[in-house]
Structure 1
Amino acid sequence: MTEKVKESGHREQDVALSHTEEKDVRDNQSLNSVSLYAIVHKEGLEELQRPMMSLWWSGVAAGIGISISILAEGILHHLFANSPNQFVIENLGYTVGFVLVIVGRLQLFTENTLSVILPLLSKPSFNMGFCIARLWFIVFTANMFGTFLAAFFSFSLQSVPPELVEGMTAISEHYAKLSPSDAFSYGITSGFIIAAIVWMKPSVKHSQILMIVIFTYLIAIGNFTHVIAGSTELFLLALQNKISVLETLSLIGATLLGNIVGGTGLFALLAYGQVVREIEK
């Protein structure tokens, strides 16, 4: 049997599914690889059809929302300043913003390194490539605007108490010490993990929060780089003149490329490769 999903509002694209696999997609239970692919593939097509302003405001909200991770880390850094386990505890705060953004279905750029790529891999076309580039540009720009707003309100407008801003600054300084090549390399791992979260979400419908917490905590505790959450840290440091604009942009650019390589270049290709023979039946 075949499930038909619309591509860019004009054509229908077939994903070959057995009767059992179609039931899996409907129920979101006992999902196999083909069922997971079909769900993420369909979500990607739906994202590509969303209006520009919807993507923009959702992306801005995601940028602000992901900045809650840095605030939560700053709070825990301040509260556990004298604890020998400070590093382990404060990094739990990193998971908070990701839970807000992913469960809230806001537009986070690194999630789109997988979902919108699967339709392109299954049926490449210039139009599909253009739609993906459009979505990526809008969402990434909106995410950056949101994280800058969060940093500006936290420091410049003093919407966060000074002692907590100090904590946020302290946990951000490790990022500024990285070279662009390190930011790129660590970003590959982070991009892969975020794409894995997107892939696993349908399988863990009733325990998504726990799954998000576990894997984003791994990003934090391993000091891997995430371009959206990390941009809040860099903007916060730049507003305090602790790093230059050039350093900020170079680290953001390097991390962006790493996240794309990890999410699209590795995970998306592997996810597609494991089902390509089955969906062509």
Structure 2
Amino acid sequence: MVVHEVVRLQGEEELVRPVPALLLSGLAAGIAISASLLAELYLRMRLPDTRWAELVFLAGYPVGYIIVIMGRLQLFTESTVTAVLPLAARPTWAKAGQLLRLWGCVLFANLVGVVIVAWLMAHEVVITREQHVAAVDILSKLTLQEGTKTLTLGIPAGFLMAAIAWILPSAKGSEFWVITLLTYVIALGGFSHVVTGSSQVAFLWLSGHMPLGEALTDFVLPALAGNIIGGAGLFGLLAHGQMRSDAAGVDEG
């Protein structure tokens, strides 16, 4: 119940943040989360093409999340649980409107941020020609799932990201390891995170190796739906339901 209240209060603060603050924080998060793609790329280029190499280069995946979450920037999937708890606790149309405003601003700013970095990568501003060729070779080998499969793979990603937001208030001093472990699991499982995955498909699109329509319909939109279901639907509402059951038991006692 204490953790629920801490997370709910964080959500209340997020719901009333002004739009410019949400957009700027979300933009910074979108730019910073692209560090995950760059870290993976740098590690992949230095490893042999073997099965065990994946365990090593996927260690670069948590880098962007560490910057974003420990830097208190606005990341869409982390907002799915914190912002939905105030609505679940006291449902009103006003709070529903605030939630949609928050999600819309943060997601838009996150995606703009990853597209900016993807454009800089595609035009070899922040990477070398050799790194650009390697990135195209590596990312073009990734199989883009059909929309329904991307959606189902987005559900566990949303759940794990919501778990991070839920665990951090009681993980003082261990935040780094919580973020690293759970995001590493997302990478290992090949789960679909709408913001981080969009950095990959945006790079392929801007490099001329993927149509925009395919990127949107087969990844961005289904991953978004899956993340919302896993974060707000499964984790957020289940955690809130547990709290209400505990509270009812206390009242009866």
- Tell me, yes or no, whether TM beats 0.5: yes
Gaps of 5+ in 1: 1-33
Q: Structure 2: how far apart are the matches of 1:141 and 1:147?
A: 10
* 1:110 correspondence with 2:71: no
Aligned partner letter, 1:99? I
Equivalent of 1:81, from 30, 48, 65? 48
* 1:224 correspondence with 2:224: no
Indicate the residue corresponding to 2:243 in structure 1: 275
* 1:54 correspondence with 2:21: yes
Equivalent of 1:263, from 186, 210, 231? 231
Q: Structure 2: how far apart are the matches of 1:200 and 1:55?
A: 23
Aligned residues: 248
Greater RCO (Cα-Cα under 8 Å, separation 6 or more): 2
Which segment drifts farther, 139-148 or 174-183?
174-183
Q: Does the Cα contact within 8 Å between 2:124 and 2:132 map onto a contact in 1?
A: no
- Normalising by structure 1, we get a TM-score of 0.85
Q: Structure 1: how far apart are the matches of 2:72 and 2:142?
A: 27
Q: Structure 2: how far apart are the matches of 1:179 and 1:187?
A: 12
Q: Does the Cα contact within 8 Å between 1:113 and 1:263 map onto a contact in 2?
A: yes
Equivalent of 2:220, from 243, 252, 276? 252
Indicate the residue corresponding to 2:144 in structure 1: 177
Q: Structure 1: how far apart are the matches of 2:133 and 2:65?
A: 22
CA deviation string 1:119-164 (max 9, x = no partner): 0001100000000000111000000100000100111243212233
Q: Structure 2: how far apart are the matches of 1:248 and 1:190?
A: 18
Higher-helix-fraction structure = 2
- What SS class does the counterpart of residue 219 from structure 1 fall into? helix
Equivalent of 1:91, from 47, 51, 58? 58
What is the alpha-carbon root mean square deviation over aligned residues?
A: 1.5
Q: Does the Cα contact within 8 Å between 1:74 and 1:169 map onto a contact in 2?
A: no
* CA distance 1:199–1:170, change in 2 (3 Å): farther
Q: Structure 1: how far apart are the matches of 2:193 and 2:7?
A: 22
Identity of paired residues, percent? 37
Counterparts in 2 of 1:1-281, with a 5 A limit?
A: 34-82=1-49, 84-173=51-140, 176-250=143-217, 251-279=219-247, 281=251
Q: Does the Cα contact within 8 Å between 1:195 and 1:263 map onto a contact in 2?
A: yes
Aligned partner letter, 2:120? F
Q: Structure 1: how far apart are the matches of 2:86 and 2:137?
A: 41
* CA distance 1:232–1:102, change in 2 (3 Å): same
Q: Structure 2: how far apart are the matches of 1:103 and 1:219?
A: 18
Q: Structure 2: how far apart are the matches of 1:268 and 1:99?
A: 22
TM-superposed deviation, 1:171: 4.4
Q: Does the Cα contact within 8 Å between 2:36 and 2:196 map onto a contact in 1?
A: yes
Q: Does the Cα contact within 8 Å between 1:69 and 1:94 map onto a contact in 2?
A: yes
Aligned partner letter, 2:225? L
Q: Structure 2: how far apart are the matches of 1:95 and 1:171?
A: 19
Gaps of 5+ in 2: none
* CA distance 1:175–1:45, change in 2 (3 Å): farther
Q: Structure 1: how far apart are the matches of 2:21 and 2:183?
A: 26
TM-superposed deviation, 1:165: 2.9
Indicate the residue corresponding to 1:27 in structure 2: none
- What SS class does the counterpart of residue 114 from structure 1 fall into? helix
Q: Does the Cα contact within 8 Å between 1:186 and 1:224 map onto a contact in 2?
A: yes
Higher-strand-fraction structure = 1
